[in-house]
Amino acid sequence: MESQDLIMDGDLQTLGLQSILKMLALSGKTGTLFIHSGRETLSISLRKGQIIALREEVVNQPDLLTMLCLMNRLDAQQAQSVRDAAQGNMQVALPILVDQNWMSRAEMQQRLEFAITQSISHALRWVNGRFSFHRRVIAMEGKMQPLDVDSVLLESLRQADEWEEMGEISLTRATMARWLPEVSNDVRSLGLSQDHIDVLCLANGEVPLQAMALALMIPEARVARILARLLELRLVEVVDTALEAELQQDLTNIIIMSQHTLARQRQNLAPDEHLLGLIKTLSQCINGLLIHHGSYAKSLRGRGQVPISDIVSYLERRFAGSLQFMAKQQFPILETASFTGGQLDCSELFNLDRLVRGEQLEEFYWEAVRGLAVFLRTVFTTLLNDEVGNSYTGRQLNIVWKAFLTEIDQEIQQYQIYRAHQHAQHARSRFNDSAYQNDTDWKSAAQNEGTHLWSSEWQRRSI
Amino acid sequence: MIESIPTVLVVDDSPTVRKIVQMTLQRERIRVITASDGLSALTSVADEMPSLILLDIQLPRMDGYTICQIVRKNLQFRAIPIIMLSGKDGLFDKMRGRLAGSTEYLTKPFDSAELVQTVKKHLAGWEQRMPPQYEGMRTRLRRRG
């Protein structure tokens, strides 16, 4: 859209979508309103203050024709002929269905109205983002009766409220569900309503929640509630293929990076350098996972561009408690690590060599390594359960994760062997000293009492 | 519909790398076999005739350069594309890889999307490269689509 067409623009925090639409309707404007939030974009065409068309940029455009086939409203041949003629444009496909007498004109109008209400309802939940209103109306072929902004807004707000009322829910409009292969009993015995059965029929693992809502003309929030019930009944499982592929790629890249850092630090020959290298690897991996979770956590999804402060407070709420608990219960050294800006700040641990040296330093490093290794496991388990649960992707990622943990454990074990060896040498030299130098041993034993805290403690913990 | 799928041999001493590559490529409908050291890698090449080899440089028992040279000297296997996979990103190592006969060089830590892209690029026309004596194996690898 050319800049000379621009009438006004701004951000959604200053002026919300509801106010913008009302204002444009009241002043009877003609043009196109664009709303962007994160990766999502919506364009609403208005003529004399009434909605004449809407376009939503969705990665996987729901194919109504396929869904009508699934609902036995069309056969595959009919659907293909319409698809060929409409070339993927739903605004064109619907009038063709009407011309062919496969759909009534009233249903077409109802479907178009419903689709617009759904999209606006979704956009009303965007917190951050920008809007711009342009003079030119984007040409969209459609045979829809213009819609009154007030009535569309009223219904959209009602539907947006329905989403909000559901509270923290793991389902989004992109969620896909599929029948669980284990389902063998007769679903009729479960006393499901017609809506539940309709949703169940579309749960083939390829139809997103948004498309189900469009096909059945049931508001998205209600479809989400039905799906949640079907999940409870263990009739379906959730699949969000695109999101799962994306998050799988992101997570594998973090693991590849961490494995690479781990392999590089193996070159450190001195034990304290080796331990510090492990601390750096573990903290880097934890922070990578935290950044990842800030983008893919279920409760942060479907809200457009989420403010950084919300992500930070979410991450801290989720993980800071377990870090503090571990510091209190098992690994006091972790008290030096803190959450800053949604990241684990280990700078005090990295600079520990400025405060202590020798055996004591090694001792602190060793405790930090074990503590961070436990915390890393906690972070990953929490993250994976939240993001993908026990899905196919979740299981695959778990296999990779276990392989990575094996490598970390090997590094830790290597150091344990070194410590055991050192410990044995100390014991042997003490024994030799006691046989021949009884006087000095008493002194050294007294001196060493404080510094050799780790040996019995370490043995207990390693068991 | 009968469809044949390519096989990629992943040679790396790190179980993490092997699992990641396996998971990433299987998602792209590519069969993956793995080896953790140089000698088992050569056995896998002879037994399975992979369509492509992803080869780490630092390996136990025999390094990646040596494996690459052995494969290139063998008439049956010389056409197999070899992608070197290593943490070494210096020009010298890349040159050494090229001299040993590698097709391409991927530096660790690699991006999984980049890995898929590179593998797919070199898998083009993999069926034509398979020698006739492996026809039986090709049939075995076929599966119903």
Q: Do A145 and A21 share a structural domain?
A: yes
Could you tell me the residue range of the domain that residue A192 belongs to?
176-239
Chain B residue with Cα closest to A250: B112
A4-28 residue pLDDT tens:
688 888 998 888 899 999 999 999 9
Domains of chain B in sequence order:
2-111 (3.40.50.2300)
Helical packing angle, A241-265 and A392-436, nearest 10° = 20
At residue A45, φ and ψ (nearest 5 deg) are -95, 130
Given A122, A144, A165, the domain boundary residue is: A165
Is B87 within 8 Å of A256 when comparing Cβ atoms? no
* Count of domains forming chain A: 3
The Cα A211–Cα A238 span in angstroms is 15
- Amino acid identity at A86: A
A351-396 residue pLDDT tens:
988 888 888 898 999 999 999 999 999 999 999 988 877 677 888 8
- Alpha-carbon separation of residue B16 from A191, A223, A259, A260, B12 (angstroms): 47, 40, 7, 10, 9
Residue A185, pLDDT score: 64
A284 pLDDT more than 60: yes
- Probe site for chain A from B16, B110, B115 (most A CB atoms < 10 A): B16
**3-state DSSP assignment of residue B84:** strand
B120 pLDDT more than 50: yes
Q: Do A183 and A43 share a structural domain?
A: no
Q: Do A15 and A66 share a structural domain?
A: yes
A123 pLDDT more than 50: yes
Q: What is the DSSP letter of A48?
A: T
Q: Do A392 and A330 share a structural domain?
A: yes
A256 at B interface, C-beta within 8 A: yes
Between B2 and B45, name the one with better pLDDT: B45
pLDDT > 70: what percent of chain A? 85
- Probe site for chain A from B12, B18, B20, B106 (most A CB atoms < 10 A): B20
At residue A440, φ and ψ (nearest 5 deg) are -65, -35
Given A165, A191, A217, the domain boundary residue is: A165
Tokens of A213: 């809502």
Tokens of A323: 């870090």
Helical packing angle, B15-26 and A392-436, nearest 10° = 180
Assign A213 a pLDDT band (cuts: 50, 70, 90).
very high
Tokens of B1: 């519909």
Helix (H) or strand (E) holding A25: helix A17-26
Residue A302, pLDDT score: 66
Q: Do A226 and A248 share a structural domain?
A: no
Closest by Cα among A247, A198, A155 to B27: A247
Q: Assess if residue A129 is contained within a domain.
A: yes
Assign A60 a pLDDT band (cuts: 50, 70, 90).
low
Beta strand spans in A154-225 (E) = 176-179, 204-208
B89 at A interface, C-beta within 8 A: no
Q: Assess if residue A171 is contained within a domain.
A: no
Give the contacts of A74 (CB within 8 A, at least 6 positions apart).
A65, A68, A82, A102
pLDDT > 90: what percent of chain A? 34
Q: Do A247 and A233 share a structural domain?
A: no
Distance from CA of A392 to the nearest CA of B (A): 11
Q: Do A214 and A121 share a structural domain?
A: no
What ipTM goes with this model?
0.80
B59-90 residue pLDDT tens:
988 999 999 999 999 988 999 999 998 776 67
B95-119 residue pLDDT tens:
888 888 999 999 888 899 999 999 9
According to DSSP H, which parts of A203-240 are helical? 209-216, 220-232
Q: Assess if residue A130 is contained within a domain.
A: yes
Residue A433, pLDDT score: 61
Is B112 within 8 Å of A249 when comparing Cβ atoms? yes
**pLDDT, mean of residues A39-64:** 82
Question: pTM here?
Answer: 0.60
**3-state DSSP assignment of residue B3:** strand
Q: Do A207 and A106 share a structural domain?
A: no
